Structure 1
């Protein structure tokens, strides 16, 4: 009897029993999905499996978004019928904003608007005009698609709105000299910082205080007008005369912008103590004086050394401002009279090697993926030994640079001549440095100016600090519009009708010096560009298209055949 039961076949379930079994399995699956959904709503996690963690927000960005106290709306105009190259940037913006919404919750919303979606041309042009009034300028960006050159008019802008305030955000950044795909990749890398820093600017918080030093012939409010107004959007900015204040402790940072007369020992002491005790500083200083107002009739001027009484201070901090001028074959232009057009002089722009265009930057967050910047009559910088100070070169001239020691005769008629490349062999010359660490006071073990009280070797209030030094006092000077008397945007060159990235560099440097949240470090985010082999892609394109279309159909057919065979075999057992 035992052997009979062991060897007998198992009887199949009755139809009613199988139905109950299927319903039980279905109910269990549904209950499991509901339980999983319930748990997912309360236990949030995301996995970023990309090598460079491109979908991972920085801790500073997460904190900013989680602490939002009022709604933030981001309107993006970068959408429409784009070629694939442009859709990469649009998709990057969508992915970034999706991540933002995860941490911002109900306080962060975004919408995409297609500027070209109007039903009629008149309505579309009217909408374009409204965007122009907001300062949103279109961009004509080119790319190569399937061997053809494609150009598209796009509005690479977003508008961030917080509490009735709007701020425009340019989404297409990067180096304009780079290929289109590289520039798009650089723009994607910077999306998190551009959007997060704008939100931070519009979010009420304790504003840092910047003092712009005056009293030594520094740039006036009109000359530095655009940079001052840009700082004021995020910081409280004051003009400070050192001789009228006991110290600078009420400030978080100071700006020294192209002084022309010497600093007294007392003024220099106040500046030194501020930096020694943790204050941050931006120096835009010239080693040589170039007085364009004293150009002779022959178009000749002379560049002679300044006596600013700051050389020993910078030397103590680890930097030497060289008394020279740099000529670079990668340069801007000046207008020169090249002849007569009737009774009027004919003026043409000519290359001017004393106006270097800087396109070589370090990988530091201050200068990463930065477009070219514009300098005028700049010298070079050298580092010297300073214990405990980390020195980072931020920007340099091109490899085709010539160094002229002071005094330097400047003949504007030289712009008419073809430069001799053999003379431009001094290589890359650094013109900007970031210094970080605990700075040793210049007045350590010395009597304070005007007193007999000696400063200790190490102040009890000493704190680590950061300073940025650029060997060009004109770096934050804006050209003045002769028609209105108002300053142009910083970095705008009327001859080239191009806006260089001077303002962006200064704001990045300011944020790096003053931002305690570490948000500026997001600019160091890197997304590796992995382009396909275009030759191989063209050769094998048809094969891969057929494979992508045919393979799913074949797999679907095989699945259907196997399923039909199993069903036939299964129900054949019931019939038996």
Structure 2
């Protein structure tokens, strides 16, 4: 009997060892197989860790190491810690799709040597990263630290800055941080696209009709140069200015030579022949960004007089834009949500005293649309904008991107613009017009303005392609304010300032990002811009309840796991006792 028990015990031990060996081998084989197969599971409701197809494709096309130096490291409040951790998670996702992705986190304030720390901070500012003064509330008082919520991306010897914090005026800090998390993939992916410098689309600024050029578009030209091949274009009634030419057959081909056309605040009327060339460019799939001032009004006319008269801007474009689905109105928009301008309010001796007063003709537009062009974008500054209306056109989808606030009114032209408005306290009862449309996006198939009409005389010496009366699927944007793309000139030293920066209020608006997003939408068919439409739900704890029940929450978090483990241990002990008790 004893021998039989020993034999049974030995057999059980052998079985246990065999099971252990099989288990170890199975785990090893599973790990080996899984290491060779890409498997990641995103269980979040918003699929925040699932990269878009456009990003994945771009990562697969990398042929050299991309090194991300993230300067968001240190002892931060919870919000910035979340941004830091989300950035690391996103870079890990990038790295999972490409072995060329490398990153490191650096704390600029953690450099012990003061001189080295100051040198590093100056280098980061010079490279384009903007510092942020962060106020930290502690029990022993408040402290202030300088942080750089950004990245320097290195690729093939080139460096570009990436801002991680999407600042927005009038938005809570929690929402700003959440919006910054939402746009992480877009910011990182667009930076990679920008630095790769391959197959850049071609964008042209139209010239010949008094459009903005030189110093007034210097900053946006510099910024767009990172994404596109830029140039200027004069039509002069020639199809060959926009379309390719076969020099052997002496024929103008039906193939545009540019991917997009920017018409920036023209001041002279368009000829019918120029309108025809632009029309046929659109019919062949060309993209156009119309930045039009329907009314002639500017601050230069108020330098030597307190009054000026705003008149309709006769550009001869009304019929063309109407055919595509937009009517520009000859009016001026005044809005209580506006920028301030410096006005001399008195003299002390020989020194002029200036004061910043709100100028209602300079509305500040807060993007409300969820379209990826303007989603989570900072407010947009304008100057003497007009309004637009959309017109019913078949096969054309219209999306309003920018509107005025709830407190606005319209003035029909001709209108007297008087600086005396600055001295008046605006009555909100007079500013009750519904939100007015300023910028619209048109997507679809457009009808030609020249369908069933005689073709205007052109100056080409080549054989022309047949006229097309309906466009391919394409897109265009129409803005009822041309100043959206215009950067300010320094009032004293006369150099161009960054687009969207107001030198008088020292605020930076979202004009540059708006123009870049718009051009990315028009020119890039890889779907990258659509990443900006991703929404991550902000799930915040109730701070008051947390503070009120702080002790109870801590006790629950500490003792609940211990009680559960004790309860599980008692159950296992009871089961073991029942199973092995000799009856």
Q: Normalising by structure 2, report the TM-score.
A: 0.91
Paired residue for 2:106, among 113, 119, 126?
A: 113
* 8 Å Cα contact 1:360-1:398 kept in structure 2: no
1:149/1:536 CA distance change after superposition, 3 Å: farther
- 1:239 is matched with 232
Residue 29 of structure 1: how far off its partner (Å): 1.5
SS at match of 2:130: coil
After TM superposition, give the deviation of residue 323 of structure 1 in Å. Answer: 0.3
Partner of 1:170: 163
Higher mean C-alpha deviation, range 496-505 or range 135-144: 135-144
1:96 to 2:90 alignment: yes
| 1:79–1:113 CA contact under 8 A, matched in 2 | yes
TM-score, structure 1 normalization: 0.92
User: Is the Cα contact below 8 Å between 1:52 and 1:527 reproduced in 2?
Assistant: yes
Q: Does the Cα contact within 8 Å between 2:446 and 2:470 map onto a contact in 1?
A: no
Q: Distance in 2 between matches of 1:12 and 1:462?
A: 90
Q: Name the SS of the counterpart of 1:309 in structure 2.
A: coil
User: In structure 2, do the counterparts of structure 1 residues 205 and 84 end up closer, same or farther at CA, with 3 Å as the change threshold?
Assistant: same
How many corresponding residue pairs?
563
Query: What is the Cα deviation at residue 133 of structure 1?
Result: 2.3
The partner residue of 2:551 within 514, 531, 542 is 542
Task: Report the alpha carbon displacement of residue 149 of structure 1 after superposing the two structures with TM.
Answer: 7.8
Considering only aligned residues, what root-mean-square deviation do their CA atoms show, in Å?
Answer: 2.7
Deviations 1:334-382 (A, max 9, x none): 1100001221111111110100111133110000000111000000110
Task: Indicate the SS of the match to 2:214.
Answer: coil
User: Deviations along 1:389-435, whole A, 9 cap, x unmatched?
Assistant: 10000010100011101111111232122111111011211100000
1:303 aligns to what? Answer: 310
- Could you tell me whether the CA contact under 8 Å between 1:262 and 1:309 is conserved in 2? yes
Contact 1:174 1:186 in 2 (8 A): no
Structure 2 distance, partners of 1:270, 1:147, is 70
Secondary structure of the structure 2 residue equivalent to 1:194: helix
Asked if residue 339 in structure 1 is aligned to residue 346 in structure 2, the reply is yes
**How far apart in 2 are the matches of 1:371 and 1:533?**
27
Secondary structure of the corresponding residue to residue 362 of structure 2: strand
SS class of match (1:36):
helix
Aligned to 2:64: 70
- Change in 2 beyond 3 A, CA 1:142/1:442: farther
Counterpart mapping for 1:215-254 below 5 A: 215-243=208-236, 245-247=238-240, 248=242, 249-254=256-261
Structure 1 SS opposite 2:375:
coil
Judge which range, 482-491 or 374-383, deviates more: 482-491
- From 237, 262, 273, the counterpart of 1:266: 273
Whether 2:496 is the aligned partner of 1:496: answer: no
Q: Deviations over 1:38-77 (max 9, x none)?
A: 1112222222111111111111111111111221111110
Distance 1:148 1:366, change over 3 A: farther
Once the two structures are superposed, residues 440-461 of structure 1 have per-residue CA deviations (whole angstroms, 9 ceiling, x without a partner) of 000011111027xxx9998278
1:26 maps onto 2:26 in alignment? no
Assess if the C-alpha contact under 8 Å between 2:237 and 2:277 holds in 1: no
Deviation at 1:475, TM superposition (A): 1.1
Tell me, in whole angstroms, the C-alpha distance in 1 between the residues paired with 2:38 and 2:279. Answer: 50
Structure 1 residues 13 and 548: CA distance shift in structure 2, 3 A: farther
Deviations along 1:114-146, one digit per CA (max 9) or x if unpaired, are: 112222444433322222222222113458899
Counterpart mapping for 1:338-357 below 5 A: 338-357=345-364
Q: Which sits farther off after the overlay, 186-195 or 340-349?
A: 340-349
Counterparts of 1:241 and 1:554, CA distance in 2: 79
1 CA distance for matches of 2:343 and 2:573? 85
Rounded Cα–Cα distance in structure 2 between residues aligned with 1:351 and 1:501: 19
Distance 1:45 1:26, change over 3 A: same
Distance (whole Å) between structure 2 residues aligned to residue 266 and residue 146 of structure 1 = 72
Q: Which residue of 2 aligns with 1:512?
A: 521
Deviates more, 1:148-157 or 1:326-335: 148-157
Match of 1:522 in 2: 531
Distance in structure 2 (CA, Å) of the matches to 1:306 and 1:184:
42
Which among 92, 101, 117 is matched to residue 124 of structure 1? 117
Q: Distance in 1 between matches of 2:379 and 2:143?
A: 25
Change (3 A) 1:168 1:196: same
Which stretch of the first structure deviates more once superposed, 109-118 or 519-528? 109-118
1:319-338 alignment runs, 5 A limit: 319-338=326-345
Counterpart Cα distance in 1 of 2:80 and 2:376: 18
Q: 1:81 Cα deviation (Å)?
A: 0.8
Contact preservation (8 Å) 2:169, 2:378: yes
Does 2:315 match 1:315?
A: no
What is the rounded CA distance, in whole Å, between the counterparts of 2:116 and 2:569 in structure 1? 52
8 Å CA contact 1:287–1:305 kept in 2: the answer is yes
Partner Cα distance (1:496, 1:485) in 2: 18
> Structure 1 unaligned runs (5+)?
none
SS where residue 35 of structure 1 aligns? helix
Q: Per the alignment, do residues 136 and 390 of structure 1 end up closer, same or farther by CA in structure 2, a change over 3 Å counting?
A: same
Structure 1 89/471 Cα, relative in aligned 2: closer, same or farther at 3 Å?
Answer: same
1:541 and 1:13 map into 2 onto residues whose CA distance is 60
Shift of 1:15: 5.0
Q: Distance in 1 between matches of 2:266 and 2:297?
A: 13
Cα distance in 2, alignment partners of residues 143 and 370 from structure 1: 26
Give the match for residue 252 of structure 2.
none
In the alignment, is the contact (CA less than 8 A) between 1:445 and 1:456 conserved in 2? no
TM-superposed CA distance for 1:292, in Å, is 3.6
Tell me, in whole angstroms, the C-alpha distance in 2 between the residues paired with 1:433 and 1:272: 19
How has the CA–CA distance of structure 1 residues 543 and 291 changed in structure 2, closer, same or farther, with 3 Å as cutoff? Answer: closer
Unmatched runs of 5 consecutive residues or more in structure 2: 243-255, 459-463
- 2:237–2:273 contact (8 Å) kept in structure 1: no
Q: CA deviation at 1:333?
A: 1.1
Query: 1:292, 1:301 within 8 Å by CA — same for their partners in 2?
Result: no
Output the CA distance in 2 between the equivalents of 1:343 and 1:554.
80
Correspondence 1:363 to 2:357 = no
Q: Superposed, which structure 2 residues align to 1:477-496 within 5 Å?
A: 477-496=486-505
Aligned to 2:55: 61
Could you tell me how far 1:18 is from its partner in structure 2? 3.9
